[in-house]
Amino acid sequence: MEKGRWTVSLLDKAARRLGDAVERAWAEAYFLHVNGFHEVRIDINDVKYRVPIIEALIREVEKLLNQGP
C-alpha cells in the first residue's frame, strides 16, 4: 500500500501463499516476461513449454471469477 503498486517481491510472496500451482505459474510467467520480452534469451520451444502451465492458472482464475461473489 505504501508504494501504491504491486512490486515483483509482493507478487512473488502472494503467489507463494496461494499454493504450488500459482507459485509455479507465476515463476514461469515471470521467466517468460524477463527472458523472452526484456532479454530475448529464449526460443519458441522455451515459450511453448511454459504456456500450458500458465494457461491452467488462467482457466482456474476465470472459473473463480465466473462464480461471482
Looking at every residue in the chain, the average pLDDT score rounds to 88
Say whether pLDDT at 52 is over 90: yes
Domain tally for the chain? 1
pLDDT confidence band for 34 (50 / 70 / 90): very high
DSSP symbols for 34-69: IIIIIS----HHHHHHHHHHHHHHHHHHHHHHHH--
Evaluate whether residue 3 is within a structural domain: no
Q: What is the pTM of this model?
A: 0.73
Residue 2 belongs to a domain: no
According to the model, what pLDDT value does residue 42 have?
Answer: 92
Which structural domain, as residue segments, surrounds residue 36? 8-67
Is 43 part of any domain? yes
Is there a domain that residue 45 lies in? Answer: yes
Residue 1 in any domain: the answer is no
The mean per-residue pLDDT over the stretch 21-38 comes to 90
